[in-house]
A and B are shown apart, each in its own frame.
Chain A
Amino acid sequence: MKIDRNEAKRIADLAHLEFDDAALERMAGEMTKILSYIDQLGEVDVTGFEAVADAEATPLRDDVPRSSVDRDAVAANAPAFSEDGHFIVPKVIGD
């Protein structure tokens, strides 16, 4: 599988990652090399193993109210936090 610069850009957009042109070029080359190794998976006969979903459901605990982490501790870790208890982000709605 060959990853070209445009494909690397498409994936970077999906992944919310920013690269400059040189880094994008390098990434495309490295991904191509790694995927050429991974492509050997195509040679395995997987007849009978296609259904991969786990049969066992994850057990859940009862959904009961309880105290959570301390709000001040959460606020202390936030890049921007308002006094009335909200994370602050740049404006997302136009004027």
Chain B
Amino acid sequence: MTELLNLPWHEARAAASGRELVEASLSAIDRLNPKLNAFLHVARDAGEGMPVAVKDNIVTTGMPTTCASRILGDFVSPFDATAVARLRAASCSIVGKTNLDEFAMGSSTEHSAFGPARNPWDTARVPGGSSGGSAVAVAARMVPAALGSETGGSVRQPAALCGVVGLKPTYGRVSRNGLVAFGSSVDQIGIVTKTVGECAEMLGIIAGHDEYDSTSATTPVDDYAADLDAGVRGLRFGVVREAVSQLEGEVRANFDDALAVLRGGGAVVEEVSVPTIGYAIAIYYIVANAEASANLSRFDGIRYGHRSARAKSLREVYFESRGEGFGDEVKRRIMLGTFALSSGYYDAYYGRAQAVRAKLRADFDAAFRRFDYLLTPTTPEPAFPIGAKTDDPLSMYLNDIFTAPANLVGIPAIAIPSGFSRDHLPLSLQLMSPHFTERALFRAANFFERETGYWREVPPI
């Protein structure tokens, strides 16, 4: 039964019925979830269809949505997120909700109110985050595909650390209706799959304008699988000098090997400068947290979720419900964001971060005038041990140093397995491309996957 979930979609569909696929998925979840804590809720009554897992900050009818936070209480959404509704309409079955850092704030899934998810390649290590549960569920072959969400790398970074494919589409490509808001100028629903072809198929299902999300793009949905086998001959790849200049050891060697694979296919690979890319984390932690401080003001103990039993006045309902309901990392980010927007500091922090962000965008535009793609490793290191960074928020934040730029600029980016470290932990290559060129992104990523085939190796769990 597990072998069924190891097949690419089109082969799995030919080999089994929708009911068999869901049963295979539920039985894999039963067997593996006690070790991995990837799922916060399992939909026993999932029925039939292609099994898909959904990150638990994307709302679903008929099952809880917790955002891995105590403040949501036993909240059950009265509506499906648009991406979920589109999956259901395309004969996919939602088999469960996956673990995450509380409100998607983190890079390790350790900031979950329900305990950390674990990396299937080494359960003493983190799976990355914040969409850690979704990455684990796909890597351990509990589901063929999962939805995640991205604000600064929350799909690509865990996909990298778990050895699977992770896509952040262009800002606005997928409706965010039903995605619990974090940083509204950077948030985007993303996809985790085993293979590039499955990722292209998933995007074709969930992409497109939605009248319930006014920031969703009206740009026509592309045929994302059309160029999967077109190769990379003559395509131009820019290696971001500022990002790779400090790489060392096995991450450097692995990245150089990946460049050789692209060159072997006839691609042009040259260095390019993106001078402001090193400021991405600093920009991100002001912009995303400022937006989060506003978005999370809705959790006030009045309309849904947790209300403190100690609260006797309206002020106490707000302060004590939020004090009890939010975890430390969420509070830290609300505090930073509130500070950056507060009177006297707005221009120096929020205004300055937006200005540097505009300059970063201009730097990317200039690079894309010369190159079809930009390349970096997805992460600066493979999966780190659980607990290694929880006492040092800044070192945790810096794990997103290569992924956050694409969110700030709004471009699509994909993480694809590029091999293994000496300790046999997954390493990952990131490709970025201009706005709304996901089809081209899948083309290059699929070439790389076909040449290397790392997806075929399954974690020893």
Contact = CB atoms under 8 A, between A and B. Distances in A.
A and B found bound together: yes
Nearest to A72: B78
Interface in B17-42: none
Interface string A52-64: 1000001111000
A16 B355 CA distance: 29
Contacts, number: 136
Interface residues of A, number: 44
Given A38-B282, A38-B285, A18 B319 contact: yes
Interface in A46-92: 46, 49-50, 52, 58-61, 69-70, 73-74, 76-80, 87, 89-90, 92
Contacts of A76: 76
Contacts of A15: 293, 334-335, 338
A34 B398 CA distance: 11
B303 A77 contact: yes
B358 A49 contact: yes
Given A49-B362, A79-B301, A79-B307, A61 B214 contact: yes
Interface string A1-36: 001000010111011111100000001001101110
A28 to B, nearest CB: 9
A19 B336 CA distance: 15
A70 B61 CA distance: 12
A12 B317 contact: no
Interface in B277-325: 279, 281-283, 285-286, 293, 297, 300-307, 311-314, 316-320, 322-323
B303 to A, nearest CB: 6
Contacts of A70: 78
Interface stretch (B187-195, B225-233, B346-354): B346-354
A89 B285 contact: no
B285 to A, nearest CB: 6
Contact of B314 (A50, A74, A89): A89
Nearest to A37: B394
A58 B339 CA distance: 27
B276 interface: yes
A90 B317 contact: yes
A19 B327 CA distance: 12
A32 to B, nearest CB: 11
B393 interface: yes
Given A11-B335, A31-B335, A37-B394, A16 B322 contact: yes
A54 to B, nearest CB: 9
B211 interface: yes
Contacts of B334: 15, 17
A38 B355 contact: no
B279 A16 contact: no
B353 A11 contact: no
Contact of A90 (B311, B338, B339, B362): B311
A74 B5 CA distance: 37
A49 B357 CA distance: 9
Contact of A89 (B283, B317, B335, B339): B317
A44 B276 contact: yes
A44 B356 contact: yes
B320 A18 contact: yes
A35 B355 CA distance: 17
Contact of B352 (A12, A31, A42): A42
A58 to B, nearest CB: 5
A21 B305 CA distance: 26
Contact of A52 (B332, B355, B397): B355
Interface of A: 3, 8, 10-12, 14-19, 27, 30-31, 33-35, 37-38, 40-42, 44, 46, 49-50, 52, 58-61, 69-70, 73-74, 76-80, 87, 89-90, 92
12 contacts: A15-B293, A17-B335, A18-B320, A30-B393, A31-B336, A44-B355, A49-B358, A61-B214, A79-B302, A79-B304, A89-B317, A90-B312
Given A8-B335, A19-B323, 15 more contacts: A16-B319, A17-B335, A34-B394, A41-B356, A44-B356, A49-B358, A61-B211, A70-B78, A77-B78, A77-B304, A78-B303, A79-B302, A79-B304, A79-B306, A79-B307
